[in-house]
């Protein structure tokens, strides 16, 4: 072998263009990555990737666009924010993955996982058309791209239709010409249900509103709120990912309210992310203010529903409101990904081990078991694109909940509930486990009417378990 043939003598050039664009758009310096592999070791979907997250980061450092822009990994990222939360260099790795999917499309590269791109584009089209997500329209469009893609979900869809969890017609919303002012009190907060609570998660909506009324927490649903773009906008349209939630926050601020509570974890996360962005990028805020025609004063606090209940009511008053203590009920609380991660956005002090919901459910008298899977991803981002991933991750959660001694899983996210509850019919589960919203347990413990508890909406019937405990006649 001659010197000219040795590997060491071959010229090597680092192409910094992609790294520079990431720095300019995201403010992320990929050269800070020192390959600790925490992003890979903590990733819940790494087994489905062609390149590990740390390998994608190395490819970016080396300017290898062939790997970075053609890889399946960015498209299969579940956006659970585990990597971003655990990165010792504070790199927004999930955000970088989103950037790569957008950059691939912009560069004319065929998406490595076409169904993910199809979903993102179709979802945003529905939102732009109606102002809210529209599940039948979304599924119809996805079926046009790939008629076989949704065959496995037809039975699931029909079950949800029978339960009244999906509608035939879209809910059309428009921004009101004049925003109504709401008299502010200590126990009055804006209530942003998100698209899910008006469709697939109606039991969450019914039980939440009934419980808050019983506790004296006044919820005001803003007229003309729009879908925040959760699960699609951040991957395909940074502009929509910022504009949609900021329109809602501006609407709430104009009404005179200073707090909005959001039952949906994805909605909560997207609005918190929008606030984080405008606080760190004043130029983007200025441009957006001009676009929406209102100078946002950043006077609105975004909270989760659990957070609002603990803040305004507290566990002591909640415990005093209990008429049917849930003694003998063994549960685990499942938080999912987006209620706590990443902490710089959500302001969570314990992103991998939250306890707020545990405290609330214990106040109802239930036995809350500790477990190490409370924030593990269920794969919600891939509910309609890669159900195989969802079933794998959700099955693991149910099996580990049972191993922890739970008879039911308590959730506070409609997407998590959908995957754990509805998809059990597609899992190899011999003994289905009830999946209950914390608000349903509260309504049950408060002895509220059946419509408020809305147990008839759950696909895995919780009635036999609850009746065996003596909570139901």
pLDDT of residue 169: 81
**Using CA atoms, how far apart are residues 303 and 261, in angstroms rounded to an integer?**
5
Summarize the confidence of residues 115-141 as an average pLDDT: 91
Q: What is the pLDDT of residues 368-392, one digit of tens each?
A: 999 999 999 999 999 989 999 999 9
pLDDT above 80 (res 13): no
pLDDT above 90 (res 415): yes
pLDDT above 60 (res 11): no
Q: According to CATH, where is 1.10.1060.10 located in the chain?
A: 12-106
188-306 maps to which CATH number?
1.20.1050.140
pTM of model > 0.85: yes
Query: Where are the extended beta strands (E) located within 159-215?
Result: 188-191
Mention the CATH class of domain 12-106.
Answer: mainly alpha
Choose between 412 and 8: higher pLDDT: 412
Q: What is the pLDDT of residues 58-74, one digit of tens each?
A: 999 999 999 999 999 99
Contact 241/270 with Cβ under 8 angstroms?
Answer: yes
pLDDT of residue 116: 95
- Report residue 203 as tokens: 């039991």
321-468 maps to which CATH number?
3.40.50.11810
Q: What is the DSSP string of 211-273?
A: HHHHHT-EEEPPTT-----TTTHHHH-HHHHHHHHHHHHHHHHHHT--EEEES-HHHHHHHHH
Lowest mean pLDDT among 80-94, 142-156, 261-275: 142-156
Q: What is the pLDDT of residues 238-289, one digit of tens each?
A: 999 999 999 999 999 999 999 999 999 999 999 999 999 999 999 999 999 9
pLDDT band at 405 (very low <50, low <70, confident <90, very high): very high
Q: According to CATH, where is 1.20.1050.140 located in the chain?
A: 188-306
**Using CA atoms, how far apart are residues 121 and 67, in angstroms rounded to an integer?**
24
């Amino acid at each position: 072998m001659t010197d000219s043939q040795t590997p060491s003598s071959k010229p090597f050039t680092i192409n910094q263009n992609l790294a520079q664009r990431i720095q300019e758009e995201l403010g992320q310096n990929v050269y800070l990555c020192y390959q600790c592999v925490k992003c890979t070791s903590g990733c819940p979907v790494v087994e489905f990737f062609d390149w590990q997250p740390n390998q994608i980061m190395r490819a970016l450092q080396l300017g290898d666009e062939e790997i970075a822009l053609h890889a399946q990994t960015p498209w299969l990222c579940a956006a659970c924010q585990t990597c971003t939360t655990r990165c010792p260099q504070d790199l927004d790795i999930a955000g970088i993955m989103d950037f790569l999917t957008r950059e691939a499309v912009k560069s004319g590269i065929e998406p490595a996982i076409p169904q993910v791109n199809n979903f993102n584009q179709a979802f945003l089209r529905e939102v732009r058309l109606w102002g809210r997500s529209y599940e039948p329209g979304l599924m119809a469009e996805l079926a046009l791209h790939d008629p076989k893609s949704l065959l496995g979900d037809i039975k699931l869809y029909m079950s949800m239709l029978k339960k009244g969890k999906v509608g035939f017609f879209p809910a059309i919303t428009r921004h009101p010409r004049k925003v109504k002012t709401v008299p502010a009190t200590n126990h009055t907060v804006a209530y942003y249900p998100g698209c899910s609570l008006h469709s697939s998660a109606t039991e969450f909506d019914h039980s939440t509103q009934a419980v808050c009324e019983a506790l004296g927490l006044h919820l005001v649903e803003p007229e003309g709120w729009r879908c925040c773009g959760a699960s699609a906008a951040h991957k395909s349209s940074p502009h929509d990912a910022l504009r949609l939630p900021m329109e809602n926050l501006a609407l709430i601020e104009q009404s005179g309210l200073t707090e909005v509570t959001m039952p949906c974890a994805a909605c909560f996360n997207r609005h918190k992310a929008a606030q984080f962005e405008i606080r760190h990028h004043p130029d983007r805020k200025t441009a957006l203010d001009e676009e929406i025609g209102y100078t946002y004063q950043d006077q609105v606090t975004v909270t989760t529903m659990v957070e609002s209940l603990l803040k305004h009511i507290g566990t002591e008053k909640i415990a005093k409101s209990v008429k049917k203590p849930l003694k003998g009920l063994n549960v685990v609380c499942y938080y999912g990904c987006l209620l706590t991660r990443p902490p710089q956005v959500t302001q969570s002090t314990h992103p991998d081990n939250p306890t707020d919901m545990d405290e609330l459910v214990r106040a109802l008298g239930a036995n809350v078991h500790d477990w190490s899977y409370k924030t593990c991803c269920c794969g919600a981002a891939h509910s309609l694109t890669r159900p195989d991933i969802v079933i794998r991750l959700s099955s693991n959660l149910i099996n580990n909940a049972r191993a922890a001694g739970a008879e039911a899983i308590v959730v506070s996210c409609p997407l998590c509930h959908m995957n754990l509850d509805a998809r059990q019919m597609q899992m190899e589960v011999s003994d289905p486990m009830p999946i209950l919203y914390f608000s349903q347990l509260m309504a049950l413990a408060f002895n509220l009417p059946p419509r408020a508890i809305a147990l008839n909406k759950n696909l895995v019937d919780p009635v036999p378990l609850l009746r065996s405990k003596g909570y139901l006649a």
